[in-house]
Amino acid sequence: MRKITPVTNVPTLTRRDVFRIGATTFAGYELLPMIAPLQVRAAEKVSPRGSAEFCIFLFLVGGPPQLDTFDLKEGKWTPPDFDIRTINAEVKMPYALFPKLSGKLDQLLLARSVEAWESVHERGQYYVQAGRAFSIARAKEIPSVGSVIAYEFNSRRRETDFLPPFVAMNFTTGGAGLAGPGMLPATCSPLPLTAERGADQSFVVNTADRGRFNQRWDFLQRLDKAMRSGDSPLGRGVSDFNNYYSGAYEMMKRPDIGKILMFSDEDHKRYGSSSVGDACILARNLVAADAGARYMSVAHQGWDLHGKIYDKTQKTNHYTLCRELDDCYSALLDDLATRKNKSGRTLLDKTLIVCMGEFGRTPGDINANKGRDHYRYASTTVFSGGGVKGGRVIGATDDIGGKVVQTGWDRKRSIYTEDIVATMYSALGIDWSKSITNTPSGRKFDYLEPTSATAVINPGEIKQLFV
Amino acid sequence: MGLKRTLIVSTGAVVLVAICAADKGSKPANHPDPAPSERTQKSELTSAVAEQLPSSSVAPVRRRNYIDTYIFDAMERNRIPSASLSNDQEFFRRVTLDLTGRIPDSNKIRKFLVDKDPDKRDKLIDNIISPERFEFQEEDAFVDRWTYWFNDLFGNSGGELGTPGRNIYYDYIRFSLRLNVPYNEMVEEMLTASALTNWFSGPANFLTRYHVDDATGNQIHHEDTCDEIAIQTGKIFLGVNLECISCHDGANHLEKINLWLSQRKRAEVWRQAAFFSNLDIYRPPPRRQEFTLLERGRGYDAEAMRVPAKKGYDSTADSVVRMKRQKADVYPAFLLTGERAGKDEDLRKAFARIITTDPQFARATVNWIWAELMGVGIVDPPYGFDMARLDPKNPPPAPWTIQPTHPELLEKLAADFKAHNFDLRYLIGLIVKSSAYQLSTQFEGTWKPEYANYFARRFVRRLSAEELVDAIAQATGIQPEIPISGTNVKVKYVMQARSPEDLGGKNLEIQRFLGSFGQNNRSRNVKSLEGNVVQASLLLNSKVIKERITAKEGSRLHKLLNQEPPLSNEDLVDEMFLSVLSRYPLPEEKKVAVEQIRQYRTQGAEDVMWALVNKLDFIFNY
């Protein structure tokens, strides 16, 4: 890993330098941070571990029920066909729901002492993506976690990188939608992809269309020459937009982009024939390509089951969701674990996978509608890869899965979203104590705030995952 | 041909120097006023676009109403050069986009360009803003556009209000704008509305929208909801951002950001919120997004509905969204003046009366509209007012400066808006009729970033997500069919949708396109006009574009290519430029485009269509 210095000095370059750099790397990717240097400082001495180069965030949108998944609690509510099996002293799994992951627990770490701050989707989903509470006063300038990671990796980009650092898959415009770069340069924006068979991939030019596309591109350059001529030292705005065009074209003109963003029928099946499965294939491809994409956020929609949760006649029910997750997560683990680079490290060693929802669901018995409602006081987050020592459980809840009774880590309190974000930053070699001082509003932006919206927490890395 | 030659002045006068200068407009860290950075960006953006467009006429700028007196006096006083007046093509596209959210029809442009009437600009504006509006008109782009704008501002969303609530709220806003209901009356109605269900009352949805769920997610948190209403009404109607002081006092936090807010206490927000403390927003089972909105104890049996029997604002109540409250003396008092409700006056009625008669209500409203039309507010952002820095006769201590760029103009506009009975159409017309609005994006001579504060030229902006999709559909002639959820209505323009939620189903690709272009989802993400690589790739190679640029039946290209008698290549190119870019091609552009269609006409015309929607001046309003 690169050595990380606590203070990022973004060099101030002359315009000439910027354009030279812009030309040798990819316009639209290296340009902006240098034009608008942000003042980034670290507050305390922390040592990011840098155990991972990639992070896949598997976001169970809607909130999965902890007690029916990775923190199983049996009760009168438990359907008889869960086929519960004891895996070890700490773990029982509903084998019928997770036949594949039940056999891979040695690769997973189950953190059962996780609490959320919010119990409403919009705010909760925002919280998970931004690592802090939604504030209407600051929403415009607050970057999401993925954008902060992108910002950090911008300075580590290599000449061969042609993909944006932050790729987000299968987010919808409902709920909180996809949180963006805020005040950070547009190079830190997520690349939102829809991974789904038949979905439009605008970055992929069909082989048959390639000739005409290239001709059109040249024609556009001729027709719009006055606006797009590269030799004039344009300011931001339109010249930025022209840079985005160049950045997009850099990706689109490569035949290998198709290999990364498309997938075979065989893989589609093996990953569970679902859109979250397709997104996991893309995430795998992005990691394997090692072409600049660092943070892959995959949304798995549908977990908000307030009613008929175990009803198999429903199009989306607990069984279908768990099966989708079981198929895609296990295939992802398989593929990443079997691919090695020269140093002998597997892709899984290099990739931290974090799997969680925005909150848990009501514990104990199901509600009058035979479902479970939003619940913030207990949930499970599953970690794997990227230096995480699997095969373990951290923390415990009471016998209905409603209250954290054992925190299981050195802070002796529940694990919050902030701690998980700090852990992701740390694994990726990012100093989570940094802040940006010259924000548009004038109010300091902390990578992680010492307080949640309602309490002082002083978040930090969950070291226990790695030792 | 002679006509075109007189209308199109060459691009010769390039303002390169201006752009070099604009690049250096970085501001010192922690500058007290957040506005300049955005302002600088917009001015840089403008420099870049302006340079490339057909140049404007060089006629001296005529002062057309009192806005110009203030704007041009300030420039003269400080010897700031101004841009010239925009040319007719530039003006026509700009004003049509700003007033209706759509690009103009090519025939209307042709007619407008040859019209010799010296008052033709005012007449065009009047025609858009004040048609025979009391005659029912299904098709009214002006009303659609501003209805959408207010729906964005108020955050109307089916996710928050249920689809029926959303629809009736939309209809209420649209009717109010169509009938030009005085804005203060509309606001009063929304602030005082009650309803057994928000699904049957348009105005009741304004307050309902700001409900905050409690920790269970099943019911409403009373005090947090009151706070949210205080914050939203502060932002929308007063232009004041109370979010920070809703968690903590201003002292030790906001000294460098907002002088007035740095002197405010959290309890003052609670007092503002307490005007809504008798209001009960309640979610009757079983539907999740249907609400009652009633004063406590009125109209229904609180016991039976399991509403906890309490009244008022409890400052010791927990919070699900903010730091813990502390015990404080909370009574309803208006944040700006401390005014209390009259004896026996209903609290919400008192609040509606006080807020709409406060001069800041008119000030904030005119500034919202100004910012929307001019690209930057007189106070910017429009919800960033510093109440301690408005009065030039009573200036703030150094290093603070007066916040509005034109404080006297702001006062005059506010007073005039009030004198005209809070008439939004009058206000919008007044602004777009000024020469200040009609200045060119081009600037002859050296542009300096500080000129931006004088509105010395027009600022460009990227088309909003909705404007862009509608413009692509209009330009190509292939419009989507958008079914409005919960109704049998189908619309053709994104800006006629009730909320972004209507764009699902077979319009999923358009929904994704809109999301990538920064559409406000009216929940947790805000509208953005920033660009990125995804937007570029979508314009280059998405289905939304590819399906529309072909010469298939029903498309504009199909009609143009099959016209009898056939159009010459030159005329075809002219017509395509006019209907996509709302201007004639420059000679060089025409040459390149004609060349492209000479050999393979249909395929070449498709290439031109593809390139036109990818041209940077298509993507921007300049």
d(C-alpha B553, C-alpha A399), whole Å: 66
Q: How confident is the model at residue B26 (pLDDT cuts 50, 70, 90)?
A: very low
Q: Are B281 and B211 in contact (CB under 8 A)?
A: yes
In this predicted structure, what is the pLDDT of residue B133? Answer: 53
Sort out which chain B residues have CB atoms less than 8 A from A453's CB and list them. 247, 321-323
The whole-chain average pLDDT of chain A stands at: 86
Nearest Cα residue in chain B from A376? B215
What token pair was written down for B223? Answer: 């005090």
Residue A217 has pLDDT above 70, yes or no: yes
For residues B329 and A162, what is the distance between their CA atoms, to the nearest angstrom? 59
pLDDT digits (tens, 9 = 90+) for B266-297: 999 999 999 999 998 988 877 678 999 988 76
Higher pLDDT, B4 or B55: B55
Residues B114 and B80 in one domain: yes
Average pLDDT, chain B: 87
CB < 8 Å & 24+ apart, contacts of A76-81: A76/A365, A77/A364, A77/A365, A77/A366, A79/A310
Model pLDDT, residue A121:
84
Distance CA A289, CA A256 (A): 9
pLDDT surpassing 80 at residue A11: no
pLDDT at residue B152 in the model = 97
Q: Across residues B426-451, what is the average pLDDT?
A: 90
Q: What is the pLDDT of residues B205-233, one digit of tens each?
A: 999 999 998 877 778 899 999 999 999 99
- Do B10 and B121 lie in one domain? The reply is yes
Percent of chain B surpassing pLDDT 90: 70
| pLDDT over 80 (residue B33) | no
Q: Scanning every residue of chain B, which has its alpha carbon at the shortest distance from the alpha carbon of A218? A: B611
Structure tokens at B20: 């070099």
In a domain, B382, yes or no: yes
In a domain, B96, yes or no: yes
CA-closest candidate to residue A209, choices B477, B602, B607, B594: B607
pLDDT band of A45, cuts 50, 70, 90: confident
Per-residue pLDDT band at A150 (split at 50, 70, 90): very high
B511 with B591, same domain: the answer is yes
| Closest-CA residue of chain A to B220 | A120
B505: exposed, middle or buried (Cβ count in 10 Å: 0-12, 13-18, 19+): exposed
Give residue B460's Cα distance to chain centre.
Answer: 14
Answer whether A227 sits within 8 Å of B52, measured CB to CB: yes
User: Structural domain boundaries of chain A?
Assistant: 48-201+256-465
Question: Residue B551 in contact with residue B605, Cβ under 8 Å?
Answer: yes
- Would you say residue B581 lies in a domain? yes
Residue B542 shares a structural domain with residue B579 = yes
Nearest to A202 among B26, B532, B538 (CB): B538
Instruction: Give B598 to chain A, closest Cα distance, Å.
Output: 14
- Environment class of residue A218 by beta-carbon count within 10 Å: exposed (0-12), middle (13-18) or buried (19+)? exposed
The answer to whether position B39 is within a domain reads yes
Considering only CB atoms, which chain B residues are within 8 Å of A240? Answer: 531
Parallel/antiparallel/unpaired status of strands A379-384 and A109-114: antiparallel
- What is the per-residue pLDDT across A394-430, written as a single tens digit (0 to 9) for each? 999 999 999 999 999 999 999 999 999 999 999 999 9
Mean pLDDT of B576-591: 96
pLDDT recorded at residue B505: 87
Which carries the bigger pLDDT value, residue A5 or residue B439?
B439
Q: Which residue has the higher pLDDT, A22 or B616?
A: B616
What is the rounded average pLDDT of the residues B537-560?
96
The pLDDT assigned to A1 comes to 37
pLDDT of residue B40: 54
Label each residue of A249-297 as H, E or C: HHHHCCCHHHHHHCCCHHHHHHCCCCHHHHHHHHHHHHHHHCCCCCEEE
pTM, two decimal places: 0.82
User: Is position B276 within any domain?
Assistant: no
Judgement on whether residues B482 and B530 belong to the same structural domain of the protein: yes
Name every chain A residue with its beta carbon within 8 A of the beta carbon of B512.
192, 194, 200
Question: Are residues B397 and B517 located together in one domain of the fold?
Answer: no
**ipTM > 0.95, yes or no:** no
Q: Is residue A299 a contact partner of residue A194, using CB atoms and an 8 Å limit? A: no
- Choose between B344 and A175: higher pLDDT: B344
**Omega prior to A33 cis, within 30 of 0:** no
> Could you tell me if B29 and B49 lie in one domain?
yes
User: CA of B205 to nearest chain A CA: how many angstroms apart?
Assistant: 19
| pLDDT bracket for residue B605 (50, 70, 90) | very high
Structural domain that includes position B32: 2-133+431-462
Q: What is the model's pLDDT at position A237? A: 60
Query: How many angstroms away from the CA of A276 is the closest CA of chain B?
Result: 17
Total domains in chain B come to: 3
Mean pLDDT of B291-310: 66
* pLDDT tens digits, B379-418: 998 999 999 999 999 999 988 999 999 999 999 999 999 9
- Asked if B593 and B451 sit in the same domain, the reply is no
**Average pLDDT in the A34-50 region?**
73
pLDDT > 70 fraction of chain B, expressed in percent and rounded: 86
Q: What is the pLDDT of residues B346-390, one digit of tens each?
A: 999 999 999 999 999 999 999 999 999 999 999 998 999 999 999
Is residue A452 very low, low, confident or very high in pLDDT (cuts 50, 70, 90)? confident
The mean pLDDT value for B533-552 works out to: 94
Contact B615, B583 (CB under 8 A): no
Distance CA A95, CA A76 (A): 18
Does some domain include residue B185? no
Note whether B609 and B476 are within 8 A (CB): yes
Q: How far apart are CA A392 and CA A415, in angstroms?
A: 16
Contacts of A438 (CB under 8 A, 6+ apart): A38, A39, B29, B30
Residue B514 clears pLDDT 90, i.e. is over it: yes
Is the predicted pLDDT of residue A309 greater than 50, yes or no? yes
Name the residue with tokens 């190079």.
A187
Same domain, B386 and B442: no
- Neighbour-count burial of B5, counting CB atoms closer than 10 A to its CB (0-12 exposed, 13-18 middle, 19+ buried): exposed
Q: What pLDDT score does B458 carry?
A: 87
Same domain, B437 and B474: no
The better pLDDT of the pair A334, B444 is held by: A334
Answer yes or no: do B524 and B443 share one domain.
no
CATH of A48-201+256-465, one of 3.40.50.2300, 3.40.720.10, 3.40.190.10, 3.40.630.30: 3.40.720.10
Indicate yes or no: CB of A226 within 8 angstroms of CB of B620.
no
pLDDT (tens digit, 9 = 90+) per residue, A260-293? 998 999 999 999 999 999 999 999 999 999 999 9
B531 and B605 both lie in a single domain: yes
Does B350 map to a domain? no
